[in-house]
Amino acid sequence: MSELGVETKVVPLADGRLLAWIEVGNPDGTPIFAFHGAPGRGFEFAMHHSVASGCGVRLIAVDRPGYGLSSPHPGRTLFDWPRDIEQLGDHLGLERFGVIGHSAGGPHALTCARVLPGRLLGCGVLSGLAPQAESPITDGMLLSNRIQTAVYRHWPRSLDGIAVGLWLLTKPVVGPLLASGRRHPERDVDRMVQRFLPECDLAVVSRPDVRKVLVAEAAAFNSTTLRASFQDMALGIRDWGFDPSEIAIPVHIWQGDLDNNVPVAHGQYLAKTIPLATLHLCPGEGHWLLVDHMAEALSIVTSGV
């Protein structure tokens, strides 16, 4: 499948699910797996082709379960993700690789650092969530995210089937809204960014290359994507199954102090808790800082320091 000149590839996993990814940058470069936010797809990293090429990086952006062409994975935990990445790494013949994660992709990158330390060259987190199960960090966070945090902290996995049932009940209302967004993706993007993003982020997402990706994402959004995003948020907010203090490899964290999606205290908490963490605080920047800091992140993660 090709979209805006970028080919999506798919591999079957051991349990029969499909895992999808795109590749940009230097095909002979140092491999780095990139994990998108929620909602999203690996396609959001397509805009970084030139940056990855300049850094000598083969950037492999993976769709998590339920996004894009990747099969849903009901009942999954964060620990299932490193197993998927390990299988993809084996499929591509990669013995070692780096990982980076943006927003909800952050906990997935950190879980890889916890589970696959021997295979990782490095780990980077950009505007990534910190654990929320014990002591939620919500000051300065959007109301919608605060509500999700309050709900998912106490929502047991045993009741996930009820969540699916609630989706089926609301589908007659939500379905037409999703369809409208797919018919008018540019209008949908404008409404969302103007309503929720601070000025520093608006300036970034208004750039033609970034906007093109966001519009393509809005056009591809569907009910499966919506359910995958709910699952993603639940995974980031619930108990991760490990403490970040158990991560034994260097981790670099980029965090903006004007981020109202994942507030700056998340990055500060991760940097304080992970033994070999380095915090790159970005004053005056928000959730979309990855656009301007991608070259820095790729260079540092591949350096192994």
pLDDT the model gives residue 293: 97
Chain segment 15-35, per-residue pLDDT in tens: 999 999 999 999 999 999 999
Mean pLDDT over 66-86 rounds to 94
Lowest mean pLDDT segment, chosen from 103-112, 115-124, 235-244: 235-244
Non-local (6+) Cβ contacts of 65 within 8 A are 17, 71, 72, 73, 76, 84, 228, 231
Mean pLDDT, the chain, rounded, equals 87
Sign of CA dihedral 234, 24, 216, 199: positive
CA distance linking residue 244 with residue 68, whole number of Å: 29
Residues 107, 78: contact at Cβ < 8 Å? Answer: yes
2: pLDDT strictly greater than 70: no
Q: Does pLDDT of 121 surpass 50? A: yes
| Partners of 9 in the β-ladder | 21
**CATH class of the domain defined by 2-303:** alpha beta
Res. 274: pLDDT tops 90: yes
